[in-house]
Structure 1
Amino acid sequence: MKVAAIYTVPVEQQWVSRIHKALNAAKARGEIEYVFSENVANADYERVMRQYAEGGHGLIVGEVFGVEAAARKVARDYPRTAFLMGSSGKPQAPNFSVFDNYIQEPAYLTGMIAGGMTKTGRIGMVGGYPIPEVNRLMHAFMEGAREINPKVKFTVSFIGSWFDPPKAKEAAFAMIDQGADVMYAERFGVSDAAKERGKLAIGNVIDTQAQYPQTVVASALWHMEPSIEAAMRKVKDGKFTAEDYGPYSTMKHKGSQLAPLGTFEGKVPAGLMAKVRAKEQAILDGKFVVKVDDSEPKSTP
């Protein structure tokens, strides 16, 4: 099977790296031929999509948050090609499926850890853009923190970029100057600021504990493998249709998890971790559902 991916940012960016990892794993197993384009400008996205469709790629993967209309037009023009696209919109029959990182469940768990680890009671949160895919994770994190520490306060800002580590770092510095001692690192650069100032950070989408052993306490991990494997299977069986692949990112489908604590194993109070593990089990058992709130999160007044 020929699979192509189109990314608007470098493949090392957190979100895209998880898609790239899953597709490379399928390539390593000999299941697909995989090619990709990175740093594709929005203005060029439609042309690249058409190029891959014309090249006979049976499955095209990407993120179309800034180019929804153009991408959906291409899908209509190539009804026999399967498209699996990160999107805030709905599936489009017959061949345009959507996904995003529904990792609000482990985000809630990391929030619980943050709420129990902050000493100042103030947490800083730096995001890329206030879109549903980001907002729901921030809200879940905030609710988790409030479960442990109802009086915790949040400072929230968005840098207007998916990949600008220096800008994210400066935004984090400003929050630390205002008293934040735990940072929610939705973007690259935030953990660097926390490390330099001797504060703690919570990771998102990928596990950077090894790179920040004294800084990153916990992370909410996204695994794109269940989504990719389901899409490949349906393409191979001739059963690919327009669907929402979001649920494949939930913990039940092994699409997300709370990362191992690594060097913070034993440093996070045992009582706190007991509450986190109990909540984790309740989520897996279906006894607790993390609320999905796509509205823009705000700083505590």
Structure 2
Amino acid sequence: MSKRLHSSQFSAISRRAVLQAVGAGAALAGTAAFPGRLFAQEPIKVAAIYTVPVEQQWVSRIHKAANIAKDRGDIEYVFSENVSNSDYERVMREYCEAGHKLVIGEVFGVEDASRTVADDYPDTAFLMGSSFKPDEAHPNFAVFDNYIQDASYLSGIIAGAMTKSRNIGMVGGFPIPEVNRLMHAFMAGAREVAPDIKFQVAFIGSWFDPPKAKETAFAQIDAGADVMYAERFGVSDAAQERGLLAIGNVIDTQADYPETVVASALWHFEPTLDHAIAQVKGGSFKADDYGIYSFMKHGGCSLAPLGTFEGKVPDDIMAMVSEKEKAIKDGSFTVEINDEEPKSS
């Protein structure tokens, strides 16, 4: 199975060092927050641009948070889905021209172009999923990511207790930091229970290709995996068909796989978006890293309820999970953030 990124993704990652260097070299003095006069009164106009369907795990959480803010009356919300990288810049500009004051989305494959748009529309705030850090040269461009390593670690503890073969299969989209850190945290959690556990790691080269993810999962199951880490849609289907277990990622799919999905690490985008809305309304939006708002201590992630698996996970394991969760929240334990590509072991 190929582990290479699409060319646009590879270019985005290889440019990280360049953008970070620019950010480090930019003069910090004189970098101010957005002038208050640039922002509309309540509700503010928000637009989102997604490269995949809103049903996709990662995007669905952003979409959900935006709809909650819309229902509260804080924002007006419109969105575009399935936008290709080649069209992304055009759609960004169209929303800016339409007067939207906050544009959210994911720019992993169009990092340079998205910042160029931000330069051209200094009166618009941009909050974008990105592998890069904020760059003070672009004061209206903030970044976020799903730093849900805390919940992933806890789900790994459960997986380590549920595997009988001590062999776990892991199927991801691309080996980029957004995926890598969650896989590493999950693996670390599993090793807390079973230090000798083995992992099969594969990437399908797509954010949304359930058939390919399912095919990859079948191959790992045939190679001995009895618990699957479902970073992508399609993996839980393979586990269900073979009568095995799966661990979910970002969203809770247990209702769809009641006898398969034991636990899931959930991402809650609400703290991230709510902070951005407040900054826009207060006239203080600036280049910043919103990643911390995905941490468990900020309410940005959680372990999904066990549901149908309540009582099926050993009590001592759930006690360990509760203890670790408490330690994560009070700061006495920190889950390592490892963005390097995970390997099979």
How would you bin the TM-score normalised by the shorter chain?
over 0.9
* Residue 248 (1) aligns with residue 293 (2): yes
**Aligned residue number for residue 192 of structure 1:** 237
Q: Deviations over 1:5-27 (max 9, x none)?
A: 00000000000000000001111
Q: Distance in 2 between matches of 1:206 and 1:45?
A: 25
Cα shift at 1:236: 0.7
* Residue 27 (1) aligns with residue 70 (2): yes
Q: 2:149 aligns with which of 87, 97, 104?
A: 104
**Aligned residue number for residue 196 of structure 2:** 151
For this pair of structures, how many residues does the alignment match? Answer: 300
Counterpart of 1:59 in structure 2: which amino acid?
L
**Worse-matched range after superposition: 9-18 or 23-32:** 23-32
Structure 1 stretches of 5 or more lacking a match? none
Q: Distance in 2 between matches of 1:29 and 1:272?
A: 39
Q: Deviations over 1:47-95 (max 9, x none)?
A: 0000001110000000000000100100011111000000000113310
**Aligned residue number for residue 182 of structure 1:** 227
* Residue 60 (1) aligns with residue 60 (2): no
The 3-state SS of whatever aligns with 2:105 is strand
**Aligned residue number for residue 327 of structure 2:** 282
**Aligned residue number for residue 251 of structure 2:** 206
**Aligned residue number for residue 163 of structure 2:** 118
Cα shift at 1:29: 1.3
Residues 31-46 of structure 1: matches in 2 within 5 Å?
A: 31-46=74-89
Q: 1:229 aligns with which of 249, 254, 274?
A: 274
Q: Distance in 2 between matches of 1:106 and 1:129?
A: 20
Structure 2 stretches of 5 or more lacking a match? 1-43
Cα shift at 1:31: 1.4
Q: Distance in 1 between matches of 2:77 and 2:343?
A: 40
Q: Distance in 1 between matches of 2:131 and 2:82?
A: 20
Cα shift at 1:269: 0.6
Counterpart of 2:179 in structure 1: which amino acid?
V
Q: Distance in 2 between matches of 1:11 and 1:31?
A: 21
TM-score calculated relative to the size of structure 2: 0.86
The 3-state SS of whatever aligns with 2:143 is strand
Counterpart of 1:45 in structure 2: which amino acid?
Y
The 3-state SS of whatever aligns with 1:144 is helix
Cα shift at 1:129: 0.1
Q: Distance in 1 between matches of 2:311 and 2:71?
A: 36
Larger radius of gyration: 2
The 3-state SS of whatever aligns with 2:201 is strand
Residues 61-80 of structure 1: matches in 2 within 5 Å?
A: 61-80=104-123
Identity over aligned pairs, percent: 74
Q: Distance in 1 between matches of 2:67 and 2:337?
A: 30
Q: Distance in 2 between matches of 1:30 and 1:227?
A: 17
Counterpart of 1:81 in structure 2: which amino acid?
T
**Aligned residue number for residue 268 of structure 1:** 313
Counterpart of 2:313 in structure 1: which amino acid?
V
Cα shift at 1:191: 0.3
Counterpart of 1:116 in structure 2: which amino acid?
A
**Aligned residue number for residue 239 of structure 1:** 284
Q: Deviations over 1:261-289 (max 9, x none)?
A: 00001000101111111111111111110
CA RMSD of aligned residues (A): 0.5
The 3-state SS of whatever aligns with 2:123 is coil
The 3-state SS of whatever aligns with 2:249 is strand
Counterpart of 1:8 in structure 2: which amino acid?
T
Counterpart of 1:261 in structure 2: which amino acid?
L
**Aligned residue number for residue 178 of structure 2:** 133
Counterpart of 1:101 in structure 2: which amino acid?
N
Q: Distance in 2 between matches of 1:87 and 1:293?
A: 16
Q: Distance in 2 between matches of 1:158 and 1:227?
A: 28
Q: 2:91 aligns with which of 27, 36, 48?
A: 48
